[in-house]
Structure 1
Amino acid sequence: MSGITIANYTFTTNAGLMFGPLDSMLALMGNRSHPSDSGVGPCSNWAATLAAYTDIQPTAGISIASLVDNTTCGDYAATTTSYWNSDTYADTFVRDAILGTGPVAGWNHESRRELLTKGAAYLVVRQSIFDRLRKGVDKCNEGARDAAVYDWEVAYALHSGNREGPEGRGSGSSTYGLADRRCWQFATCVTGTFPARANVLALEAWRRGVTALYAGQCMSALREMKLIKAQLTVPLVQGALREAHETDYGPAGGAHAADGIVEVAEGWAFLAAFLPELAQCDAGVAQLVSTNLALSLTGPWMSSGFKAVKEAMESQYACLGITCSDVGAMLTDNTFQPIADWRACSDEPVLYGLEVSRIVTYAVGLIAAVVVLAVILALLACALCYMCATKGKNTAPKRQGEENYIDVQMKG
């Protein structure tokens, strides 16, 4: 039952076989909600989409809808419940998108499809991943090492999904696939367009965490869990920034080249997945960002402008456990060149408004200039001293008796 490899991780339990197929249910939701693939003409098959969300997946024995368990005492579940004032927000998010109710009433099919597929993967499944990781650490503290490892492998199966295959090629519908789809847009792949650095770093932390759990080193596993959580946040931040840019009609925005209202839906879906964590870092930043990316049919969208939203999010990268280099900056879709007015932030400390490395560079340059100037002045001083010392001494000195000899000659 064990030994299966998904996305470069070889399972030691049957968790991959059991929970990996939930990725196929996510894909089924996407297919059934797509007008061209539903088999019912121009309209999406919402009933079939709801069934894919709520039906029991045979191997796992659960549905995607039942994944989130906010009755756990995990930090992530508590943060999410507190922010949304609901322990069923993720489930409600997806159901509203499928049924066209609540804040999604009146939205077009494509926007609802983006909300439901992203909501199921990045709110429901992602939260379940963190719940499982936390349960694993708790079980480790209780001395149940094998059970702890199983929970961590369930978490990886949910993250990767069976459609990724042994090597993980970004073909799945869960959080692993998202990172691979974003990395080439932000130049954050390990090489070229595959794999995402976020996936590689998360996998390394997963492996270290499982090793720590087997050894009963629970605190070490907890540290790795935080690293995993941070890397799974990276593509969500990238996605939110991408859609923020594409819904900004200002001079720094790209709304003129966007598809329409669907970007608003996508941006909110990405942001909603990590908004409780952002609010925990800084409530004011979370409010600014959520106001600008709010799920609204009438706008105004990005009223503060992309630059302000980008800088606000960047100010909380350290709190989220990520870096500027983790996120990068988006490139153009066709030429893969930097987008105008979108520069990646720097991870270097800033002093008096300048990066420390720049200050050091300027200081070194200034010192070098002073040294060169001092050398030049010293050389000039030496030259002047030499000229003064040799002034009037250009004729040869007369030999002794030479003056008397000349006088005698003149008299003769």
Structure 2
Amino acid sequence: MKFTVAVSAFLLASSAQAASFRRRLSFERIAGYEPRSQVTDHNAIDLDQQAIEIQLAMGTTESFNAASKIYTDGAFSKSVAKVQLASPLTSSVAEGDQITGLNADGAEVVGTAYASYSTGADVIEIQYRTLDLQSSYVGCQVGANPNPNTVGCFAPTGTLSINGEGSVSYTYNPLTDNGNKRTIQGFSTAAKEKMHDCPNCPYSTYKKFYDYYGAFDYANQWVLAAFDGSRTSFSNGNADFGIYGFEGKGEAIKKGTAFMNIWMYVIREMEDALDDCQEGCSIENCNDDPVHAWDEAVAFYTGSLEGKDGSGSGVLLHALADKRCENFKTCGDLANDVTGTSHVNLEIFRQFSIGLNKLLQAQCSSAREQKERIEQLMAVPMIQGALRYAYIIDMENNSGEKAEAEGATFAAAVLPLVHACNADAAATIYDSLRVGNNGSANFQKVKSAFESVYECMGIRAEYVGGYYDMTTGQYFKGAAPAGVSSNSGPNVGLIVGLTVGGFVFLLLVYVLSVRRGKRAAADVQNKLEQSEVAQEQPEQPSVEASEVM
């Protein structure tokens, strides 16, 4: 009998666990990652980046002004309408209260109060509702968007219903009063509050950047100086963009926005997830926030353009890793190919998944291991970018402003990490790749400087690889990976590491599944045994309602 009960309990537990698992995997994947919360609006930040790059590529004063507006005002993420009410509110409105109205075609538009408003307020902001499907995540995309989409915006005039009650008349201009509360600039200007002055702050990686640059919004200052054609005023790592035309400034801007502003905010969201996590507390009760923050980190790392499986053409860090792996022969499972997904992305997403499972299990302290590993791996494509342009400038005698600006910005994205390990190595890299180096980059010195801090930065040389010439099937002269003197044979050290890492990952998933299964099985078995006991008890006479009264 006990065996039968145990088997039944196991089957019921497995079924219950599977049903719960399916419910939690109902959101669209992000490059293969399965978020447990809605982050389609966060994922769309790459549309801002794409729009900026399109404007920069035009290379005119007008297009640079348009790009600047997208950077500072936003266009595609966290869309909000600011409306003028015909009469003041007769009762207060709480942040998050549902507000509905109609668009210009008479279709319903749903939003929520962006903030709390007291009785008597006559101007309110309404955040548009976002959907689970990335392709239709929001219908109002205006802000600084050069091609505004107003289909899903509130009509210029009409009435609003708040929490399904009453109607309040309003007016506004859809093209000027629809804006965005999430911007790429904001990722940097909010850094002091969210990464330095917050509880459990300063975050260790952010502190290295602040200590090096001496500015809380160093990324924003870099981008604004490039837009203005002016000089930064950092403690270290300064750049004078006054020597550049549109081409050089454009490269410094588009790489600064993606690989300085957004990159650091990915780290912020992972740190926020760990801050919100309560050790040993189930997701059903109190672990929703850390999972959502972790999902946001994945969204900001990847973006919507990569698609569900990561095969799209993105513009954020995920895309950079895939581009650089082709240059350094670090694509694929063994980091030994020039096509396919970068090994960095494969490993980062493995860590994202492990971290998510740990947060779901409220293993907060343990999840820090994944956060730190992801940080280390995210630096690899920036190092590869700096090495690539050091080679182009030095060995290929390309001293044009495009190559110089790209090399300088890739270096700027990692110099604080290098400096924290070895100040002399950081100075060597900066001197070779700074803005205005006039073609004086020294590739071998840059390469040696980076290699001297790999261990300190937690980076394996095999992940960085070597600058590779696909036309000859050989590494460029003097550009082979650290410790490699020939081009033959697979990366044995990396293969061993991957084998062990893969085993540990599978073991972790198995252990977590067993733990969940045991808990669920125990609950079901207890219920079945209680049912059996109840059946063995003599039947009790029924009690009429009148007797209870």
**Shared fold (TM-score, shorter chain, > 0.5):** yes
Where relative contact order (Cα < 8 A, 6+ residues apart) is larger, the structure is 2
CA distance in 2, matches of 1:312, 1:12: 41
Partner SS for 2:219: helix
Amino acid at match of 2:466: A
Q: TM-score, normalised by structure 1?
A: 0.77
* Higher fraction of helix: 1
Counterpart position of 2:291: 149
Are residue 168 (structure 1) and residue 310 (structure 2) matched? Answer: yes
1:265 to partner: Cα distance = 0.7
Counterpart position of 1:212: 358
CA distance in 2, matches of 1:172, 1:292: 30
The C-alpha deviation readout for 1:71-94, integer Å capped at 9, x for no partner, is 322112222111100001100111
Are residue 119 (structure 1) and residue 119 (structure 2) matched? Answer: no
Change (3 A) 1:278 1:347: farther
Counterpart position of 2:96: none
Counterpart position of 1:100: 229
Amino acid at match of 2:35: F
Give the conservation status (yes or no) of the 8 Å contact 1:139–1:148.
Answer: yes
Partner SS for 1:243: helix
Change (3 A) 1:332 1:192: closer
Cα RMSD (Å): 2.1
* Higher fraction of strand: 2
Are residue 6 (structure 1) and residue 30 (structure 2) matched? Answer: yes
Amino acid at match of 1:205: Q
- Match runs of 1:51-66 below 5 Å: 51-60=69-78, 61-66=181-186
1:109 to partner: Cα distance = 1.1
Give the conservation status (yes or no) of the 8 Å contact 1:170–1:181.
Answer: no
CA distance in 1, matches of 2:220, 2:445: 31
Are residue 287 (structure 1) and residue 427 (structure 2) matched? Answer: yes
Give the conservation status (yes or no) of the 8 Å contact 1:49–1:98.
Answer: no
Q: TM-score, normalised by structure 2?
A: 0.58
1:210 to partner: Cα distance = 0.9
CA distance in 2, matches of 1:259, 1:4: 44
Give the conservation status (yes or no) of the 8 Å contact 1:65–1:124.
Answer: yes
Are residue 46 (structure 1) and residue 168 (structure 2) matched? Answer: no
Instruction: Give the one of 178, 182, 192 matched to 2:320.
Output: 178
Instruction: Give the one of 204, 214, 219 matched to 1:75.
Output: 204
Partner SS for 2:468: coil
The C-alpha deviation readout for 1:202-253, integer Å capped at 9, x for no partner, is 00001101111111111221100111111111110100000111111xxxx2
Counterpart position of 1:20: 43
1:347 to partner: Cα distance = 8.9
> Once the two structures are aligned, what percentage of the paired residues are identical?
27
CA distance in 2, matches of 1:166, 1:222: 26
The C-alpha deviation readout for 1:51-100, integer Å capped at 9, x for no partner, is 11112345433111101323322112222111100001100111111222
1:170 to partner: Cα distance = 5.5
Counterpart position of 2:143: none
CA distance in 1, matches of 2:399, 2:342: 26
CA distance in 1, matches of 2:396, 2:192: 38
Deviation >6 Å, runs of 4+: none
Amino acid at match of 2:307: G
Give the conservation status (yes or no) of the 8 Å contact 1:244–1:267.
Answer: yes
CA distance in 2, matches of 1:34, 1:145: 43
The C-alpha deviation readout for 1:145-189, integer Å capped at 9, x for no partner, is 211111111010000000001111261111000001111111100
Amino acid at match of 1:10: E
CA distance in 2, matches of 1:128, 1:347: 35
Deviates more, 1:141-150 or 1:207-216: 141-150
1:261 to partner: Cα distance = 2.5
CA distance in 2, matches of 1:299, 1:150: 46
Give the conservation status (yes or no) of the 8 Å contact 1:149–1:213.
Answer: yes
Give the conservation status (yes or no) of the 8 Å contact 1:33–1:45.
Answer: yes
Amino acid at match of 2:385: G
Give the conservation status (yes or no) of the 8 Å contact 2:327–2:338.
Answer: no
1:254 to partner: Cα distance = 2.4
CA distance in 2, matches of 1:151, 1:301: 43
Instruction: Give the one of 400, 406, 417 matched to 1:277.
Output: 417
Change (3 A) 1:106 1:192: closer
The C-alpha deviation readout for 1:331-380, integer Å capped at 9, x for no partner, is 125444321122211399xxxxxxxx9xxxxxxxxxxxxxxxxxxxxxxx
Change (3 A) 1:58 1:177: closer
CA distance in 1, matches of 2:484, 2:304: 35
Give the conservation status (yes or no) of the 8 Å contact 1:7–1:160.
Answer: yes
Change (3 A) 1:147 1:238: same
Counterpart position of 2:496: none
Amino acid at match of 2:56: S
Amino acid at match of 2:309: E
Give the conservation status (yes or no) of the 8 Å contact 2:386–2:408.
Answer: yes
Give the conservation status (yes or no) of the 8 Å contact 1:325–1:346.
Answer: no
* Structure 2 residues without counterparts, runs of 5 or longer: 1-24, 79-180, 196-200, 232-239, 486-492, 494-549
Give the conservation status (yes or no) of the 8 Å contact 1:267–1:293.
Answer: yes
Amino acid at match of 1:168: G
- Match runs of 1:13-412 below 5 Å: 13-15=37-39, 17-35=40-58, 45-60=63-78, 61-68=181-188, 69-71=191-193, 72=195, 73=201, 74-102=203-231, 103-141=240-278, 144-169=286-311, 171-190=313-332, 192-248=338-394, 253-255=395-397, 258=398, 260-296=400-436, 299=438, 301-302=440-441, 305-332=442-469, 334-346=471-483
